[in-house]
Structure 1
Amino acid sequence: MSDTADTADTADTAAGEPLLQAHGLTKTFRVPRSASGSTRLHALDGVDLTVRRGETLGLVGESGCGKSTLARVLLMLERPDAGTVRYDGVDPFALRGKPLLAWRRRVQMVFQDPFASLNPRLSAGELIAEPWRSHPDLVPRPERERRVHELLEMVGLRPGDARRHPQEFSGGQRQRIGIARALALNPEVIVCDEPVSALDLSVQAQVLNVLTDLQAELGVAYVFISHDLPVVRHVADRVAVMYLGRMVESGPAEEVFTAPRHPYTASLLSAAPRPPAERGDGRERRIVLSGEVPSPTDPPSGCRFRTRCWKAEEVCADRLPADEPAPDAPQHLAACHLPLEPAGGGARR
């Protein structure tokens, strides 16, 4: 049996098990003094997250909500001020030396901009092989050219493309090279930070199909960060929604998209385009939020969304809401004192 088949069988056996877990992550940054007098920007505030083997977790929310900071913490590019990260039960922030180097193979990243994320001085083959300079034991030197060709073919490119440079490729082809580079270390989790937002729609579909096919073949898990809700619905098994540094809703993708429980999630979904078959009788209205987006240097007390929420009451200002499961869906959590009805009543205001 081939190495790829062995990997896929192992992934199928372990599919669904928690692989990467974060609990209570808090991260602040020092910034110039704001109008409120604060010099701290609250990027993450008590964030919990679980990534299971072989799944795609969609991470959504408006710009500035903390998605990219969370990704950088999961990749150990930032150290949290508080909270824990566990990878297969191990705290990666406690590792040093060779154990840390070995851990870094297991979590890789595909960047947003395929034009800026590839060194134009290197050929495609050199870019893909570059990670092996830090991990020389992973692929013996005599085998590297063959492995580069295999990775190129896995992402839909030709072995002969190894000699070409990034400027000779289209945007979609460059992103395929970025995916191949991320796969070079045989990771178990790939963080995809807006991986298709810089591409044309037709090319987006091709790159998404590549990611889906690779997941089916290799069993890799994705943390898929995106503003594009239809794309997230297409690729994600589960969805987590962030607002102002906090996780406000999470659950199986189809449940979150068809029956949002948090008012913020409902407002996001009401603004997203939907296919004609899902537009109902035409009475659905977009939820237009009032008020300004609060500053992360001076977040509101209690529920962070209360200053823009049409359901807000006094209790929302008094304390932070806890994650509460839906009555008939224990995996569907919403951090809201006044959650919407299970049928998604808030989307028909």
Structure 2
Amino acid sequence: MSDQEAADDQLLTVRDLCKTFRVPGARRGKAELRALDGINLDLARGETLGLVGESGCGKSTLARTLMMLERPDSGTVSFDGTDPFGLKGKELLKFRRRVQMVFQDPYASLNSRMTAGDIIAEPWRTHRTLHPVKHDRDTRVRGLLDLVGLGAKAMNKYPAEFSGGQRQRIGIARALALNPDVIICDEPVSALDLSVQAQVLNLLNDLQQQLQISYVFISHDLSVVRHVADRVAVMYLGRIVETGPTEAVFDRPNHPYTAALMSAAPKLDAAQRGERILLKGEVPSPLNPPSGCRFRTRCQHATDVCAGERPPVAIDLQVPDHAAECYHPLLADQSALSRSA
């Protein structure tokens, strides 16, 4: 693929995205929490990007920003060549159709007083130009219910009449109602039984194949991410510390934090089980993160240089799309790029 073709294939591009929240301080009037600190990521058409990291690292804040529920302090977001934060009025309303979300809790995310059909059709109350005729809306709802494997008979049932997996299918149908280009999946299977998880994940994969939807898949379950994601981004304290194709990140982690995560993931094959990497110390407070490399206070490879400037980007020469922010990357076959390069 040429550089121009690769650029044309990119649906979402994020560069140097920052988001800071002001929170009450213990001894000061205000304290700042930098939830996102220079985020860079790309999402291609029809691709699944897995987003992993410990609780509190900024995954949900990034999702909310991409949904335009939060406005960034700085940085750029380009969606199909357009800055969504520069849109207003009808153009903004039209854009909001293109990015939808599937939530973590299938019990809390559905209105218990609405039928499945009403829940799926609810977005059309705002986007009135889509299916303005009731007959067309009912036909589309039945089609979406069939698409997610529930069938038209579920249309007049209430959420209490469905299992957790069936409720999540309703949530997926609701996300599909506006024909989005991107669906942000925020821990979409963590509240489900293992057998049901597999069914929902297979459904998401089938929908992607049929509709060419792109997913941002947020999860703490590494086995799920490895199963569904084409590429992975690893977050730590508001920064993305490593990105790359899924197999490269899982099999050849370049950042010490990623290596620690992968060592903690359960493996059925005993031959694949390496030595568990135990991190020292606690996760630093996001109100007062370490200077330089955010991970240095817990890293066994850290040296004095790690406390200086933000680390350079180390590129895996075997997989050029595989990069990590680190002064002491783990792979030997690599080149380093300064952040200003």
TM-score (norm 1): 0.91
**Which of 328, 331, 342 in structure 1 is aligned with 2:318?**
328
Cα offset for 1:228? Answer: 0.1
**2:128 alignment partner in structure 1:** 136
Counterpart amino acid of residue 262 in structure 1: H
Match of 1:337 among 324, 327, 337: 327
Task: Answer with 26-35 or 179-188: which moved more.
Answer: 26-35
Distance change in 2, residues 1:34/1:227 (3 Å): farther
- Are the aligned partners of 1:157 and 1:173 in contact in 2 as well (CA < 8 Å)? yes
* Residues 23 and 47, structure 1, Cα contact 8 Å, conserved in 2: yes
Structure 2 distance, partners of 1:265, 1:281, is 16
| 1:140 CA drift (Å) | 3.6
**Post-superposition offset of 1:128:** 0.4
Identity of aligned residues (%): 65
Q: Determine if contact 2:316/2:331 at 8 Å carries over to the other structure.
A: no
Deviation at 1:25, TM superposition (A): 0.8
Residues 140/342 of structure 1: CA separation in 2 closer, same or farther (3 Å cut): farther
1:341 shift after superposition: 2.0
Match of 1:301 in 2: 291
Segment drifting more, 141-150 vs 179-188: 141-150
8 A contact 1:56–1:222 mirrored in 2: yes
Unaligned 5+ runs, structure 2 = 334-341
Alignment map for 1:164-203 (pairs within 5 Å): 164-203=157-196
TM-score (norm 2): 0.93
Q: Which amino acid aligns with 1:29?
A: F
Task: Read off the aligned partner of 1:158 and give its amino acid letter.
Answer: G
Conservation of the 8 A alpha-carbon contact between 1:323 and 1:336 = yes
Residue 259 of structure 1 aligns with an amino acid whose one-letter code is R
Residue of structure 2 in register with 1:72 after alignment:
64
Q: CA deviation at 1:322?
A: 2.4
Is 1:86 aligned with 2:78?
yes
Asked if structure 2 preserves the Cα contact closer than 8 Å seen for 1:110 and 1:193, the reply is yes
CA offsets, 1:90-130, max 9 Å, x none? 11011000000000000000000000000111100000011
The structure 1 residue matched to 2:110, chosen from 118, 121, 125, is 118
What's the secondary structure of 1:319's corresponding residue? coil
Task: State the Cα distance separating 1:329 from its structure 2 match.
Answer: 1.3
| 1:321 positional shift | 0.8
Give 1:266's aligned residue: 259
In structure 1, the partner of 2:301 is 311
Secondary structure at the aligned position of 2:39 is classed as: strand
Match for 2:41 among 49, 67, 71? 49
Runs of 4+ in 1 over 3 A off after TM superposition: 13-16, 34-38
Counterpart of 2:338 in structure 1 is none
Quote how far apart the aligned CAs of 1:20 are. Answer: 0.9
Counterpart Cα distance in 2 of 1:93 and 1:294: 32
Change in CA separation of 1:273 and 1:15 when aligned onto 2, cut-off 3 Å: farther
Q: Is the 8 A contact 1:56 1:221 kept in 2?
A: yes
Whole-angstrom CA distance in 2 between matches of 1:95 and 1:286: 48
Q: CA deviation at 1:136?
A: 1.8
**Structure 1: gaps (5+ residues):** 1-12, 344-349
